[in-house]
Structure 1
Amino acid sequence: MATARTPEDEDPPEAGYLSSSDRDSDVDDDCQVTAKEPCRYYNKGHCRDGDRCTHPHVCKFALSGNCRYGSGCKLKHPRGGRRSRSSQAGGGAKERSTSRDPKIFDGQLYKWQLNDGTGWMDFSNDHVIEAQYCLPHTKSIKLYNTTHGVVNIDFNSMTVSGKSLRVRRLDDGHTEWVWFCTLYSKWIKYGDKDPEGKPTPANSSDIEQKFQSNPTSSFTFNIGAKTYEIKFAEMRQVSLDRKRKVTRRPLYRQRQAGAGVPQGHSVSQNIIVGTKPHWQFEGDHRGWHNFKNTRGTNETSDDIERKFQDDP
């Protein structure tokens, strides 16, 4: 039975923008942004017109703020790159959070945000998103009753399905990232024992260290005479005879009670999800029903929420 946690009530948000931490930190001084769209041939790897090209030779993903390679990108990144309104969620590269990404310094451990083209807006109750994102088997989460209707966040591609929205996760720089691989139809953490009781040879922290040094590279290890390679760009573990899925998720950190944006914070925070969470379950015909005291169940939405707050 699928379950979802949704807001019961919600007020429309007010306009707000992210501070300067939203800008690209690693850029080329000689790269200027113009009103023209970036050269598509340059972004594919080669433009035969070279310096004569009438379109800017810049990374199109950097312009829209979602280049997965950051300072390791082989293409030029513009200084103060513009935020493209035409950027479509799901049409770009996957997010791979690294130590080079923008950080938050307002006392929060992490922050989930949505961008509809007018600026980055905070999710309220984003600990629900974070708790699900920390689970390696969770592919996505649906949020109901938002100002943009139903928002379906794909955790693997870090995009919003079917909408012209962008999503991102920021943290305080102290997130512990954990690497998992599929084995016997289960997600196994690198370094832990597999279902047969044998420890996996590669360690999650070693993989993360290599990833932080170069998110476009790979991590190689051996089991006996057999060589395995974790390709970060593909998120696959490959050997001569097999490929396995790999994922990277944060270790969940529970916020202190009352933790959040300090009073007097200079940025106007947009509320995307309502302030009162509501728990539902999916019925036989894909309809969603509230948890309440009825025949067959004595758990209400408030009961579940209290338990969730105690231990997500």
Structure 2
Amino acid sequence: MSSISSVIHQATSCLCDSRGSMHLQQHLRERCRLSDGDFIYIIQGCPQRFLLVPEGNSYTVVGRTSLRLCRIYSRGDRCEGSCQQLHLCKFYVFGNCRFGKGRKLCKLSHDVHSAHNFALLRECTLHELKDNELFLLLLQNSPQLLPEVCFHYNKGSAPHGCCSFQDSCTKVHLCQHFVQGDCMFGHKCKRQHTIDRHGQRILEERGLSRDIIKDLSIIYKNIHYLRATTTAPAASPGAASPGTASPAADNTDAAWFCKAAQTDETEEICLHFIRNRCRFQQNCRRVHFHLPYKWEVYDGTTWSDLENMEEIEKDYCDPASTRSSDYQQVDFVKMTLESMLVRRLSTVSSVMKPPHYSLTTQWLWYYKGDQGDWVEYGQLDEKQLSTSVTSQTLEEAFLSGKKAEVEVIKGRRVYVVSFKDMYQRNPKHKTRRRVCRRPRFVSKAEVDKLVANPRKCSG
């Protein structure tokens, strides 16, 4: 089986290339050597990215995303604060921005990979999608982008039902039962199952390109499935596909890959290799490297090691650093080197192993103090106050995937740390502070010393 992150990326890309939904099981079985049980495990374990819709003896998978276009930005207004929505021109997403084709430049951004947008895409692990693939995901997940299906058109007799606006209606005239997947009349239905010429003209006037319009009937079906899940009870994780074994009930591995750019076994550094004890040798699924961290750059074809890795790591471990001081200038926010993607591989988090394990990665959590400095959770600030939780507490909650927020008490005040947008909020006063997660720095000399002393380098 391919790595979980690779499977999720391939699955997302295939869904977008197939108008947002498809029978994905057979495709992943052939392309990724994925068993039926693994398919259910990954898709059900990643509800932020996929919706599993049972259809007879198989499943349709629908692509999901929590990302939206920022309405404030789309109006041309200035979006204050740390916005968690994309800053893009709506008509560029529609594929038909008239300013993008002429001499006059559009006032809104057409840059999917701007600093603001790329950070959000990377957080949701959607940064490797093509623009048109991302746009399709946005269209079927953002309610404000497409007009609704006309309710009155679906009442009364054809051709316009009870719609008093008829040809001037700004909503879409489509058979509601077709959209819901239960039209018993099929191609003999008197209501439309595709967008007609009149509807196409109305939609083109709203800015949608013909390429999008021809796929709209399928996109509306996907929208129906996605909206239905907001009111329907959650499916039981134990409900495996017909004729297959039930997957494990705990799907936190797959859910984690949808949530953030986390590594899997093939992107995790082998603890045993560092200590010269890996019995799997070349068959090991983990990365073999002499340090508990590894910085790589992607040239469009392969990942290769960055130079001065120790210096980059030292800069990265400083929560105040947004880029490395080395001549290569790695951007820690966008994780890029110039226009190339950068990634950091590491050993497993220290909270995932017993305390006697060494060379695991100890992640430290910080909040931004009143003076602009970064204060580690559990440590004293300039007023000699400390928080009720420590870095270890937050790391355990973060990796468990069971909590989106953690309550923190400092002095007489209560705060909430949100893992979704990495902010600490004061619910009473509506203030917020940035939160940062960085590893503790370990030098090569420290690694060599631990490896040379087997008693201290246990595990």
Give the TM-score range, shorter chain: 0.5 to 0.7
Structure with the larger RCO, 1 or 2 (CA within 8 Å, 6+ apart): 1
Correspondence 1:157 to 2:136: no
Structure-2 residue corresponding to 1:103: 268
Where in structure 2 are the equivalents of 1:17-56 lying within 5 Å? Answer: 24-25=3-4, 38=16, 42=20, 50-51=21-22
- CA–CA distance in 1 between the matches of 2:447 and 2:406? 40
Aligned length: 198
How far has the Cα of 1:225 moved from its partner? 6.3
Describe the shift of the 1:196–1:40 C-alpha distance in structure 2 as closer, same or farther (beyond 3 A): farther
Correspondence 1:217 to 2:404: yes
Describe the shift of the 1:99–1:202 C-alpha distance in structure 2 as closer, same or farther (beyond 3 A): farther
Describe the shift of the 1:200–1:34 C-alpha distance in structure 2 as closer, same or farther (beyond 3 A): closer
2:444 partner letter = R
How far has the Cα of 1:202 moved from its partner? 2.0
* Equivalent residue for 2:415, pick from 228, 235, 248: 228
How far has the Cα of 1:108 moved from its partner? 2.1
1:177 partner letter = W
Structure-1 residue corresponding to 2:344: 169
Correspondence 1:128 to 2:311: yes
* Equivalent residue for 1:114, pick from 270, 274, 297: 297
Describe the shift of the 1:37–1:119 C-alpha distance in structure 2 as closer, same or farther (beyond 3 A): farther
Residues 154, 160 of structure 1: 8 Å contact kept: yes
- CA–CA distance in 1 between the matches of 2:6 and 2:343? 20
1:134 partner letter = C
How far has the Cα of 1:221 moved from its partner? 2.3
Structure-2 residue corresponding to 1:254: 443
Residues 217, 231 of structure 1: 8 Å contact kept: yes
Residues 386, 411 of structure 2: 8 Å contact kept: no
How far has the Cα of 1:112 moved from its partner? 0.2
How far has the Cα of 1:186 moved from its partner? 1.2
- Could you tell me the percent identity over the aligned residues? 24
Structure-1 residue corresponding to 2:235: none
Where in structure 2 are the equivalents of 1:38-77 lying within 5 Å? Answer: 38=16, 42=20, 50-51=21-22, 72=46, 74-76=48-50
Describe the shift of the 1:104–1:135 C-alpha distance in structure 2 as closer, same or farther (beyond 3 A): same
RMSD: 4.0
Query: Which secondary structure does the structure 2 equivalent of 1:249 belong to?
Result: strand
- CA–CA distance in 2 between the matches of 1:178 and 1:38? 37
213-222 vs 92-101, greater mean Cα deviation: 92-101
Describe the shift of the 1:202–1:39 C-alpha distance in structure 2 as closer, same or farther (beyond 3 A): farther
- CA–CA distance in 2 between the matches of 1:40 and 1:138? 41
Residues 122, 261 of structure 2: 8 Å contact kept: no
Correspondence 1:183 to 2:389: no
1:167 partner letter = V
Residues 179, 246 of structure 1: 8 Å contact kept: yes
How far has the Cα of 1:219 moved from its partner? 1.7
How far has the Cα of 1:117 moved from its partner? 1.0
Correspondence 1:245 to 2:434: yes
Structure-1 residue corresponding to 2:57: none
2:343 partner letter = R
Describe the shift of the 1:73–1:123 C-alpha distance in structure 2 as closer, same or farther (beyond 3 A): farther
Q: Deviations over 1:58-107 (max 9, x none)?
A: xxxxxxxxxxxxx6562149xxxxxxxxx969533238565746212323
Q: Deviations over 1:147-175 (max 9, x none)?
A: xxxx43221332345x1x11100012210
Residues 89, 159 of structure 1: 8 Å contact kept: no
TM-score, length-normalised on structure 2?
0.37
Where in structure 2 are the equivalents of 1:294-305 lying within 5 Å? Answer: none
Structure-1 residue corresponding to 2:324: 141
- CA–CA distance in 1 between the matches of 2:412 and 2:18? 44
* Equivalent residue for 1:201, pick from 368, 378, 388: 388
